[in-house]
Structure 1
Amino acid sequence: MFGTLVARSIPRSKRAPSQWTFNTRFPSAGRGAPNAGGGTEGAWKAAKNRSNLKSKVASKLSGLALPASRRLARLGVGVVDSPSKQRLDRKNTNSSQTQTQTKTTKPVKPTRATSSLSSSIGRRSGMAMAAGAVAATAAAKAASKHRRQVEAEREAAQEKYDQKFSMAALPQTTPSLIKAIQAATFADMSLLPPLLNALHSVFGSDVRPTPVQALAIPASMSLTSSNTRALLVGAETGGGKTLAYLIPMIHRLKSQEIEHAKLALDNPEDVIDAVVSGSENSVTPQLISSSKLRRLRRPRAVVLVPSRDLVSQVTQVAKSLCTHHTDLRLTVLGIHARHAHADRLAAKLATVPIDILVTTPHELVKHLEKGTLALSKLTEVVVDESDTLFDESNLPDIEVIQKAVATHRPVEDATETSKDSSTASVTPLTTYISATFPVRMTTLIGLAHPPEQGGYTQIATPKLHRPSSGLKQLFLPVTSSTTKPNLLLDVLKRSAQSGEKRVIVFVNNRDTGTWVCDFLRGKKVVSDGGGGVFLASGQMDGRMRDVVLGLFKEGGGEGLSRTEEGLLDAAMVAGTANDGIVAGSGGKEGDKIPWKDRIAILVATDVASRGVDTTAADHVILYDFPRSSIEYLHRVGRTARNGGKGRATSLLTKRDRRVADEIEKSVRYKNVLG
């Protein structure tokens, strides 16, 4: 149906699109034709009324019946006005803009108040701008100063790191040096016969010197007849460095006794035979005790080590040569901070002359300050693990000891007995032993022994700063698909499958070690009848740590006392680790398994990485990666010792990549770590 557009009384030319309505009731017809549709006049009026009503409704919904292009005419979208309307709109717009400009640009007559106010505002704005410029300049200067300070601190930290961890240049390895190492024997070193017999008795008749022993023992014995009074020896971990300085030390101490015996009696041959043979001659004990060579509280040789564990270890090795064999009668004493029997120690110092004293630097300084020890009879000093003892924490004590050694008197006062010494005019021999040569250590040794005073001799084995040739090293990154604890479990599982019975897991601090121990015990990594999961840290009781390290190394639970059993129970998890270790502890299945066939895991901090003999370790896992190549060498050196084989696995996070990449590159190309 088509309808007609019904217009209002508005002229067509001025009618807006919204004023058009669409009527669908009637066909197209003029207003003056009432009978156009064939209807009557009444019908036509009724239809007109309905049309008016429809128009009212349509006026409310105006524009709904318009074409699509004009339905939004009321909003002014898509509709073009007539030219006359456009001209009118432009005229109105121009007049309004002109009036606005006239109002805004109308000049205002300035007054005295307004001019004063404007000048004040100008001055204030100028002062504010100047103050802002000054503040901006000051801020820029402060920022520049802060950047320079941060840069200086960064450079100082880098220099400190380089001094502590950078490696010194090593002497070149020559074919003649390698040939000398291969041809060396203890019999060719001019050792005293009792000392040679003790070596064969303790270590076997076919014992041969290791590379460090083949180089260090002849060099140390030649220091007696030269102006050089210091020796720096470097060798890889597990190379036998302890015997490298104990053997020449014992040789010199016994040789001094023989020389003093020659000067004391008219018949030196009898005295020499008595001293060497160790017979119970009535003359020899009186001669040695009354000699000026040995005095109470004045050791003849001092061995400095960084930890209590090394004190016990070195003391045990020295006693195996000097005490367990009557041919070499020397008194060896080990002192550390947590000595179990302080009263016995004081009584021994007051009644027995000490030949070899093994202690830590801090403990020696304490005894020197108390007056219980003096260095007036000192002829020899050994600084074992020198790279550790020349660190910031131990350096003050080392400097105090160096000063006391140089003056040959106690730290507090010089006593009458300290002045009366046959060795007061002789500079003691000093031997430095280390598995690494940091630049900081070599610099301090050079300052302590300048060239005008003879300097020092440096010896290094061909494998220094290199891991053992029998060590297999693996670097495992901790990816997003796993976590470090789960990766540790996987590594331990593979280690058990490959038949490795002794595993050391290194961490950087005690809290991490405690957590790892609890984690492994909770996962029951070591089943019933196994060796257990142990923890060793520097904060542990010394006796507990000795028991733990001893059991981890070689077992021996049958000889434990009740106190040691209690300490062991505190160090291990009950119900799993204790089964079968201690005789009589109730272990059923564990009693049938030999100790060597049990799996034992030692979670340790760096207290177990320096000098402690862990020959039994088959696998070393670095749960926390070390912060330098020096620490890495010490940790992985706990296995593959003395020419043996072992494995080292490192678990790497993102922050470990910088140091790990350098170490991994050196390992891959068999270069020197540094």
Structure 2
Amino acid sequence: MGGGYVPPHLRASDAAESTSSLSGGGNGAFNNDDSGGLGPSAGERSNHQQHRSRTTTAAEDNTTTNKIKTKTKWQPSERVLNLTKSQIEDMRERLNVLAESPEEDTNEYAPIESFEDMKLDREIALSIKAHGFDKPTPIQAQGIPVILSGSDVLGCAETGSGKTAAFAIPMIHYCVSISDAYGATRRGDGPTAIVLAPTRELAQQIEKETKAFSQAIDKRRFKTTIVVGGSSMNEQRGDLRNGVECVVATPGRLIDHIHQNNTNLRRASFLVLDEADRMLDMGFEQQILEILNATPKPRQTLLFSATMPPEVEVLAGEYLVKPVKVKVGTVSAPTSNVAQSLEKVPNDVAKIDRLCRMLVEEKMESVAHGNAPPMSIVFVERKAKAEDVADMLNAEGVATASLHGGRTQGEREAALKDFTRGLCSVLVATDVAARGLDVKGVQHVVNMDLPRNFEDYVHRIGRTGRNGMTGRATSFYTDSDAFIVSQIKRALQELESGNAFAFATGKEARAKEKEAQRAWREERSADQSKTETDSGGIISVDDKFKSMLVTSANAATGNQSGAADDAWGSDEDDF
């Protein structure tokens, strides 16, 4: 293969090693569908209601001696405390952030644009510096002070905004303050903080950042562990029983451990729901509710979501207490610093040819200028296609790894590690990577196969243009993609005209989109049953003769333009 790169799944010894170390004797094995095992596993989909009696509820906890603790009041620097209302409003306008509180005065939630002014624990400040963070991003500048103040938060921020650090840093500060005030977590104690995420990949990203921001902290003050499917239950059981301050988990696997008495929620007073919209989409609603109902009150609850569909608002309304709504940038809209283009190709074979030509040219141009090839993610519809595309690119000398549901956990982690370390410049993925991955430096996203809905398109292109960087998104399309192409174009036009929320999201919105697609197909079908004569008359044609329809204009010119061209415009349109 070109460049000597060997994909993880072809490294026989490494693959065997990874599989044996991560399989845990078959516990949490991957599903063999293209969801990549990211949805609820068979165990996670089981009816947890029958086990509810084995989960400690908040009411039961009132009789226990191991009750939750509350931390001391946090205060920012004097400089922040002395900010005027007009100064705070100016800062929010400049940062493009909103902080809406049910209380009339929101001055106590002033954005803080330096980590020093946040007055964080000294070891956390050292960890932030070691991690290379110079100044907070807008979501961090506004979100961290709100969370440190002890308020519940309903956060909505565009992809790549630095949201994970916005809740991880104050969460660590909270846990450390509890440890300092009441002593280190002991064996048998449940966690102080819980972070729930929809996928193991996102959970791994959160755990990685949490460990980075706590690297300088004494382990007696703060420990974290990850609890997800696809990894050994035994190792997770050991960490949980020994006692940790923070657990990052997928909902189903956490409940499995609770039912096995490996941990408890009696001390949990800080709860984060990350990508709440995605968790609800994936069928975790019952597990989320069981965890929420089992954690004692008072607690601090943070709910973050890239989109804000009605079901997320209902969840927030029931379980958050007077939440401060923190919103940054344009939510659920293509990132403004991603240049988007669409290219029409006649068929799937032409897609592969065009992709290879484009990525080979980009590699050659970069090498000619003494640079490394640009990091690119290519999205395809099926895992078999991901393999074919990766093999072809490797044969052309473009080092490529694949990421999909047919890979073991070890192989997937190895592929991501190769990509992030620059051992390969291209990652071919199914939608298993569309959410949650935060890989720095991705310059180009290619939709070799367009997704089925606009929301997935948004999350795909959000892999680039992150944290203030610029990026590109290229999408190939054929006539069969006419509907999604028309949706993308209309959304971009509305966004350009100032409608930042052109598309609603969530189950209800997707149902409406399906209905619109059904109506669109029926309209096209009706249009195809009519043809215009040379004299301008309209002739209706029976359904059984539709395949024989050829308009005179097309017959004369040989014009092969399809409906997608009409929906999009010029083949050369570039956004």
TM-score range, shorter chain: 0.5 to 0.7
Who is 1:83 aligned against? none
CA distance in 2, matches of 1:353, 1:221: 24
Structure 1 residue 608 corresponds to structure 2 residue 428: no
Find 1:488's aligned residue among 342, 351, 355. Answer: 355
- 2:191 alignment partner in structure 1: 299
Counterparts in 2 of 1:474-513, with a 5 A limit? 474-479=341-346, 483-499=350-366, 500-513=373-386
The question of 1:212 aligning with 2:139 is answered yes
1: distance between equivalents of 2:466 and 2:332? 14
Report if the CA contact (8 A) 1:504-1:620 is conserved: yes
Structure 1: 5+ residue stretches without partners: 1-172, 225-229, 261-287, 409-425, 556-594
Q: Which residue of 2 aligns with 1:200?
A: 129
2:228 to 325, 336, 347: 336
1:377-434 Cα offsets, whole Å, 9 max, x none, are 10111111122111142223222222222xx4xxxxxxxxxxxxxxxxx322111122
Cα deviation code 1:429-460 (max 9, x no counterpart): 111122222333223322444xxxx3432211
SS of the residue aligned with 2:147? helix
Q: Structure 2 CA distance, aligned partners of 1:347 and 1:199?
A: 29
Q: How big is the shift at 1:317?
A: 1.7
Structure 2 residue 338 is matched with structure 1 residue 446: no
Shift of 1:183: 6.4
Determine the C-alpha separation between the residues in 1 that align with 2:362 and 2:266. Answer: 53
C-alpha displacement of 1:543: 1.3
Q: Deviations over 1:45-99 (max 9, x none)?
A: xxxxxxxxxxxxxxxxxxxxxxxxxxxxxxxxxxxxxxxxxxxxxxxxxxxxxxx
Contact 2:179–2:221 (CA under 8 A) maintained in structure 1: no
Mapped partners of 2:240, 2:318: distance in 1: 33
Which deviations, in whole Å up to 9, do the C-alpha atoms of 1:573-593 show, x marking residues without a partner?
xxxxxxxxxxxxxxxxxxxxx
Residue 533 (structure 1) aligns with: 400
- Matched to 2:307, the amino acid is T
Query: More displaced, 625-634 or 636-645?
Result: 625-634
- Distance across 2 between alignment mates of 1:328 and 1:616: 35
Equivalent residue in structure 1 for 2:238, among 326, 347, 351 = 347
Counterpart contact for 1:553–1:617, Cα < 8 Å: no
d(CA) in 2 for partners of 1:221 and 1:643?
25
From 241, 254, 260, the equivalent of 2:163 is: 241
Residue 386 of structure 1 corresponds to which residue in structure 2? Answer: 276
Could you tell me which runs of 5 or more consecutive residues in structure 2 were left unpaired when the two chains were aligned: 1-87, 98-110, 367-372, 504-575
1:591-630 matches, within 5 Å, as: 595=423, 600-630=425-455
- Give the structure 2 partner of residue 633 of structure 1: 458
What amino acid is the match of 2:172?
A: I
The aligned counterpart of 2:418 is 551
Residue 312 of structure 1 and its aligned partner are, at CA, apart by: 2.3
* Equivalent position SS for 1:212: helix
Please tell me the residue identity of whatever aligns with 1:346: R
- The match for 1:401 among 272, 291, 298 is 291
User: 1:323 Cα deviation (Å)?
Assistant: 3.9
Cα distance change on mapping 1:383 and 1:480 into 2, 3 Å: closer
Return the letter of the residue paired with 2:129: H
Is structure 2 residue 246 aligned with structure 1 residue 356? yes
CA gap of 1:174–1:487, structure 2 versus 1, over 3 A, is farther
The answer on whether the counterparts of 1:322 and 1:329 sit within 8 Å (CA) in structure 2 is no
Shift of 1:353: 1.6
Distance 2:382 2:170 in 1: 37
- Give me the whole-angstrom Cα distance separating, in 2, the residues matched to 1:219 and 1:553: 32
Q: Does 1:456 align with 2:323?
A: yes
Q: Is 1:609–1:638's contact at 8 Å kept on the other side of the alignment?
A: yes
Corresponding position of 1:256 = 178
Partner of residue 370, structure 2? none
Given the superposition, is the C-alpha separation of residues 447 and 649 from structure 1 closer, same or farther in structure 2, using an over 3 Å criterion?
A: same
Measured in 2, the distance between the counterparts of 1:474 and 1:498 equals: 20
Distance 1:614 1:460 in 2: 23
Provide the residue aligned with 1:373 in structure 2: 263
Q: Which has the higher contact order (CA 8 A, sep 6+)?
A: 2
1:46-125 → structure 2 map (5 Å cutoff): none
Q: Which residue of 1 aligns with 2:483?
A: 658
Q: Structure 1's 477 and 297: CA in aligned 2 closer, same or farther, altered over 3 A?
A: farther
Q: In structure 1, what residue type is equivalent to 2:206?
A: V
Q: Which residue of 1 aligns with 2:115?
A: 186
How many residues align? The count is: 392
Of residues 647, 669, 674, the one that matches 2:472 is 647
For residues 348 and 444 of structure 1, what CA distance do their matches in structure 2 show? 30
Work out whether residues 505 and 622 of structure 1, in 8 Å CA contact, stay in contact via their aligned partners in 2.
yes
**Contact kept? 1:301, 1:379, Cα under 8 Å:** yes
The change in CA–CA distance for 1:308 and 1:475 in structure 2 (over 3 A counts) is same
Q: Quickly say closer, same or farther: Cα 1:223–1:654, change in 2 above 3 A.
A: farther
Quote the Cα distance in structure 2 between the aligned partners of 1:634 and 1:310: 13
Check whether the contact 2:211–2:224 (CA below 8 A) recurs between aligned residues.
yes
- Using the alignment, how far apart are the partners of 1:192 and 1:324 within structure 2? 11
Which SS does the other structure have where 1:544 is aligned?
helix
SS of corresponding position for 1:345: helix
Return the letter of the residue paired with 1:623.
M
Change (3 A) 1:433 1:327: same
Distance 1:232 1:536, change over 3 A: same
- In structure 2, what is the equivalent of residue 62 of structure 1? none
SS at the partner of 2:390? helix
Q: Distance in 1 between matches of 2:225 and 2:112?
A: 35
Query: Higher mean Cα deviation, 652-661 or 303-312?
Result: 652-661
- 1:616-643 Cα shifts (integer Å, max 9, x gaps): 3221101121222321121111112111
1:436 counterpart = 2:320: no
Secondary structure of the 2:131 match is helix
Q: Distance in 1 between matches of 2:290 and 2:348?
A: 53
CA distance in 2, matches of 1:183, 1:305: 27
SS of the residue corresponding to residue 427 of structure 2 reads strand
Q: Which residue of 2 aligns with 1:167?
A: none
Measured in 2, the distance between the counterparts of 1:357 and 1:397 equals: 16
After superposition, the CA RMSD in angstroms is 2.7
Specify the SS of the correspondent of 2:304.
strand
Indicate how the Cα distance of structure 1 residues 493 and 439 shifts in structure 2: closer, same or farther if over 3 A, else same: farther
Q: Secondary structure of 1:200's match?
A: helix
Q: Aligned to 2:442, what secondary structure does the other structure show?
A: coil
Query: Alignment partner of 2:213: what SS?
Result: helix
Q: Could you tell which deviates more after superposition, 455-464 or 181-190?
A: 181-190
Correspondence list, 1:162-177, <5 A: 177=92
Change beyond 3 A, Cα 1:345–1:215 = same
Contact 1:322-1:328 at 8 Å conserved across structures: no
TM-score (norm 1): 0.54
Q: Are residues 192 and 388 of structure 1, via their aligned partners in 2, closer, same or farther at CA, if it must alter by over 3 Å?
A: same
In the alignment, the residues of structure 2 paired with residue 241 and residue 402 of structure 1 have an alpha-carbon distance, to the nearest angstrom, of 22
Query: Aligned to 1:517, which of 384, 390, 393?
Result: 390
